[in-house]
Every structure is written in C-alpha cells, then in structure tokens.
Amino acid sequence: MKRLFAYLVHPPTDGPRSILFLRLMAGGVFFWEGLLKFVYANQGVGRFTKLGIPFPHETATFVACLEFGGGLLLISGLTTRLIAVPFIAEMIVAILSTKIGLYLGTSPLPLPPALPKVGMWAVLHEIRSDYAQILTTIFLLVNGPGSWSLDAVLLRKRASAEHAYVTGSRSRVNLPATAAD
C-alpha cells in the first residue's frame, strides 16, 4: 500500500513538455463536462435519472465536482496521478452504463441522430470521446504530468529546499574554529 501511495504522489516530472497538451486536452474535457452537469440538468441529474443511476442528484453533483475540480488539477499538472485513478474508474462506469444499452438497442438515452443507431458500429462511433479520455488519462497515470506542471515545480522547490538544508547544515558542522569562536 505504501508503494502504491508513493507511486501516486511522487510521479516522474522529467517527461517531455509536450505532455502539457495531453493534460490540456483531457483536463479541459473533464472540466467543461463537469461544468455542463451544473448548468444543464439534462447533462447531470436528468441523464443520471434516465440511466437509473442510484441517488441521481447526489451522484451527478459528486461527478460534476470531480470533473470540474479534477479537470483543473489535470490542466495544472497537480496531483496528476491521484486524479487519474477516479477519472479512469469514471470513464469505465460511463462506458458500461451508456454503451451496453446502445449496443442492445435498449438505451434510455436518445439514439444517435444518424446511422448506425444501434449495435457495435454505433457503440464504436459513440465511444470515441470516452476512448480518447480513458487512454489519455491512463497515459498520464503511467508517465506523470511532465516537466511543465505544478507537480514538477513543487518537486524542484522541495529538492532545492532539501539541498539548501543539507548544504547549510554541513557547513555549520564542518566550519573550522576561528579566533572569534
């Protein structure tokens, strides 16, 4: 358990700067989807009610807060690995709760506006955003937030402070005695 916690809270931050674009993509989508759940009932409580999700008001509010706040965390690169875990779980639940009914033609949600409306091809078409989100989030979980992230800034500050402490304490210990002492 300690190793898992260490893995999640101490991500590598030496990844390429271009990881920022993946964080902006995934974090941005989670952020605005969370915001939409607050602004439009059909995206939050209404959708969760249609899907038969227990406690739809509370669940929609929780998911909206998770997406809104977690999206900001991903964008900034702060606690990237920690927020990736619930996002991956959320995307799995989203896929299972919406796409199985689409595959079977029993979805309580509106069918796609154009063919294919049901079946595997409809699922593959409708899952494209979920697919991109889950794979991007898995990438961030595995590789960390990259060098342009708040996690990297905090790590550099921590390392700098530790270096200053170690250097400062050594020089106090190793100072030669002077006549002023």
pLDDT per position as a tens digit, 13-72? 999 999 999 999 999 999 999 999 999 999 999 999 999 999 999 999 999 999 999 999
Q: What is the pLDDT of residue 164?
A: 79
The answer as to whether 2 is a domain residue is: no
For residue 104, which of 82, 132, 123 has the smallest C-alpha distance? Answer: 123
Residue 181 lies in a domain: no
pTM of the model: 0.86
- Residue 37 domain flag: yes
Is the Cβ–Cβ distance between 122 and 113 less than 8 Å?
no
Look at residue 101 and tell me if it is in a domain. yes
Residue 161 tokens read as 């402070």
User: Using omega within 30 degrees of 0 as the cis cutoff, is the peptide bond preceding 116 cis?
Assistant: yes
pLDDT digits (tens, 9 = 90+) for 84-101: 999 999 999 999 999 999
Does 148 fall in a domain?
A: yes
**What phi and psi values does residue 85 have, to the nearest 5 degrees?**
-60, -55
The structure tokens 């260490």 sit at 6
Is residue 67 a part of any domain in this protein?
A: yes
Count of the separate structural domains present in the chain = 1
Give the range of the structural domain holding residue 137, as residue numbers without chain letter.
11-173
At 173 the pLDDT is 44
Check: CB of residue 111 under 8 Å from CB of residue 118.
Answer: yes
Torsion angle of the four alpha carbons 30, 19, 137, 51, in this order, in degrees rounded to the nearest 10: 20
Residue 31: CB atoms within 10 A of its CB come to 20
The answer to whether residue 64 sits within a structural domain is yes
Nearest-10 Cα torsion for 48, 54, 56, 62: -100
Residue 6 lies in a domain: no
